[in-house]
A and B are shown apart, each in its own frame.
Chain A
């Protein structure tokens, strides 16, 4: 008995399209490799291979017009005919040629061409095309593409989240940043813990600063304003810590901050040691320059804007070369990721 390899007929794998492709392949094999055998046994109809019927049965339910042969138009007819013929042991008695002969009469190229022809589209397509309508193809491609894009995006996002988590852990390890106690510009003792729950953006400088500090303070004001104006983002708490405690008393700082656009900037000062301690925690360098005849001096210092999370962790720092917009974008990303991490209870 002629049988096709059973593996081809695995129903679980035999989805509509694959079945059809396999069916075409098996049909091709069947007719090219076994013509002699079939011809030899043509006196009685040989049972059609299992896969043949299985695929037909599957295709039947879709009622696809296969234009399989010149004799029959529908796959269901082939099947029906096969069943009918199969029950009549002797086809010659009813004036029919043996089924195998009948099938063999169909020229293979023609058959393949017909198989490749879609019922909804009568134009012939080049050999090897899977007869799936265009809309279905587009649907499949867009589904697969969409799924892949989604997977890619979520993988990228997950990676970014992991990196962010690692960032918090690593900064925690090297103990960058930390808590401090200083005097604010109103003369009150405040601690950094008072600002828990708020995003802090912090700058260290001094009031006699000739050019850089005012620029940076204005940048700070712009950043804060942008977040104040964005209802989707939490407001930032801007802080200014002086690195010149000798001259910058709370009143001086209060005067100084009045000149900058954001009224919410809080200034801090302290004793020389307190300031040194804070600067050390944030790895900020500062050094007093030589005094001139007016007892005036310049403080050379690290120009950095710090970003601190609502839990008081150091998150990022921005140097002088970063524009306000760059800082705003970066801070926005940090806040979004922080919220996701908090939701996932990872930090």
Chain B
């Protein structure tokens, strides 16, 4: 399978940006961004879709860690 060409890359990145923007605006409600999701999946190769999905999760996580810090550790039950 050949590598995505520049125009494909640009198209994929643009659709990815649209989807991310939509998700940001709708508080990550995927049901409201189904059209963007379809466009995105049709413009990017599968591997990239997976990669960008993971990357978004990672960026979100990073942002949360930077702003809010880690979740408090679950209270461990006192061992009797």
Q: C-beta contact mask, A239-283 vs B, less than 8 Å → 1, else 0? A: 000000001000010011001000000000000000000000000
B45 is contacted by which of A211, A252, A296 (Cβ under 8 Å)? A296
Q: Is the Cβ of A293 less than 8 Å from the Cβ of B2? A: no
Q: Find out whether the CB atom of B6 lies under 8 angstroms from the CB atom of A298.
A: no
* Interface hits, B27-49 → A, CB 8 Å: 45-48
Residues of B within 8 A of A295 (CB): 1
Residues of B within 8 A of A255 (CB): 2-3
CA distance A207 to B55 in the complex (A): 19
Given contacts A208-B47, A210-B51, A259-B6, contact A296 B1 (CB under 8 A): yes
A33 interfacial by beta-carbon distance below 8 Å: no
Whether A180 sits at the interface, judged by CB under 8 Å, is no
In the assembled complex, the CB of A249 is this many whole angstroms from the nearest CB of chain B, namely 11
Give, as a whole number of angstroms, the nearest-CB distance from B80 to chain A.
Answer: 43
- Size bracket, chain B contacts: 10 to 19
CA distance A211 to B50 in the complex (A): 13
**Interface contact B1-A294, CB-CB below 8 Å:** yes
When chains A and B are docked, how far (Å) is the Cα of A296 from the Cα of B44? 12
- Select one of B5, B9, B50, B55 contacting A292, CB under 8 A: B50
Q: Does A297 contact B (CB under 8 A)?
A: yes
**Does A235 count as interface, using CB distance less than 8 angstroms?**
no
**Which of B1, B9, B47 is A298 in contact with, Cβ under 8 Å?**
B47
A210-B52, A211-B13 as given contacts; A297 in contact with B47, CB under 8 Å: yes
Q: Is the CB of A256 within 8 A of B3?
A: yes
Residue ranges of B at the interface with A (Cβ–Cβ < 8 Å) = 1-6, 9, 13, 45-48, 50-52, 55
Contacts A252-B3, A295-B1 given; 4 further ones with Cβ under 8 A?
A211-B55, A247-B1, A292-B47, A296-B46
Q: Which 10 A-B pairs have the closest CB atoms?
A: A207-B3, A296-B47, A259-B6, A210-B48, A208-B3, A210-B51, A298-B51, A294-B46, A292-B46, A292-B47
